[in-house]
Amino acid sequence: MVDRVLGQLSLADGLARTDTMPLDRIATVIDWMPIRALLGQRSGPGAGNTSYPAETLLRCLFLGVWNNLSDPALEMQLRDRLSFRRFAGFSLSDRTPDHSTLWRFREELTCDGLIDRVFDEITRQFEQKGLILKHGTLIDASFMQAAARPPAKPKKGEETAARPSADPDARWGRKGKKTVFGYKVHNGVDDAHTLIRRMHFTDASITDTEPADTLICGDEEAAYGDQAYYTHARHARLKQAGIKDRLMHRPNKHHPLTPRQKQRNRLISKVRAAVERPFAVFKQRYGMRRLRFFNLATNRTQCVLAGCGYNLQRAAAVLSQ
């Protein structure tokens, strides 16, 4: 098989072209050549039907994330919307992929950490462009509800649930008075333009503080987080690494906060509040309050795709100002 040759423009394509659109600006914020090399060629040796290039399918999945589209809905929009076709690299005469092709490619991204390498390449390019300043990293986590219903509660006298959940990886999580059956996404965000530098995805039962050290890159000047992240051991590790500890202190019944600590927490809170921006975009614009898939691996891939998509949109907005 060989990869399809796409995007050969005709006279009709030239006539259909409009002014520069937001998708056109997003397409120029990174160099896609390293992404293309990273993804490699999808077609194997030998005869067979041609397949779509990996970069094209990745761009299609970004369109699905940005517009909160299921794979069947994305298939229809790719056929009909000129801006979608132009961003993905299709001419007016090119056939677009169906929903099963998009699904299979998402599964390919899940294998061997390929989506993580794509995320790392995008953030690397933004570092080179000076969009990630490394003055501080803001860390936080947010619940995301599972697509499946939670398991039914066991009847009195029974140990196992009467009906298991269709998602075997989702778990119950609690933060304050909020209880969610699903997953949790943990972000490490650069404080300059709120670009995501690190992502970690777990089931909802994992506490915020457990993966916190993986969100700190080690090259930032300071680390900001709420009271859930402060421990004496983490404070010592940050000090040893030369990173300023800007984690909010938490009281206990034996040691209430002093007025100085309360003032410190208020100042930190004003800075770390910007970490909520990616979560708000994920949930309000990308429709990720409730996830679409029924296992941790595929949901994780979708969340990292959302992280890549958020960074591309955010960088385009910053560069256009």
- The closest alpha carbon to 307, from 142, 135, 85, 134, belongs to 142
Q: Is the pLDDT of residue 17 over 60?
A: no
* Same domain? 87 vs 142: no
- Going 281 to 141 to 244 to 121, the CA torsion angle's sign is negative
Residue 321 inside a domain? The answer is: no
* Same domain? 266 vs 212: yes
* Same domain? 286 vs 140: yes
* Same domain? 201 vs 289: yes
Residue 51 has φ and ψ, to the nearest 5°, of -115, 160
Q: How far is CA 216 from CA 103, 122, 229, 303, in A?
A: 32, 18, 12, 19
Q: Tell me which residue range forms the domain holding 219.
A: 133-293
pLDDT tier, 15 (very low <50, low <70, confident <90, very high otherwise): very low
- The closest alpha carbon to 70, from 79, 80, 61, 57, belongs to 61
pTM above 0.85, yes or no: yes
* Same domain? 167 vs 288: yes
- Tell me what the mean pLDDT of segment 265-275 comes to: 96
* Same domain? 96 vs 199: no
Measured between alpha carbons, how far is 65 from 115 in angstroms, rounded to an integer?
14
- Provide the CATH number for the domain around residue 220: 3.30.420
Q: How many domains does the chain have?
A: 2
pLDDT in tens, 291-309: 999 999 999 999 999 999 9
* Same domain? 91 vs 171: no
Q: What is the pLDDT of residue 255?
A: 84
* Same domain? 154 vs 18: no
What SS3 class is residue 244?
A: strand
Residue 125 inside a domain? The answer is: no
Residue 28 inside a domain? The answer is: yes
User: Looking at the DSSP assignment, which residues form a beta bridge with residue 201?
Assistant: 185
pLDDT in tens, 276-293: 999 999 999 999 999 999
* Same domain? 161 vs 24: no
Q: What is the pLDDT of residue 321?
A: 80
* Same domain? 259 vs 222: yes
- Tell me what the mean pLDDT of segment 21-41 comes to: 93
CB 203 within 8 A of CB 296: yes
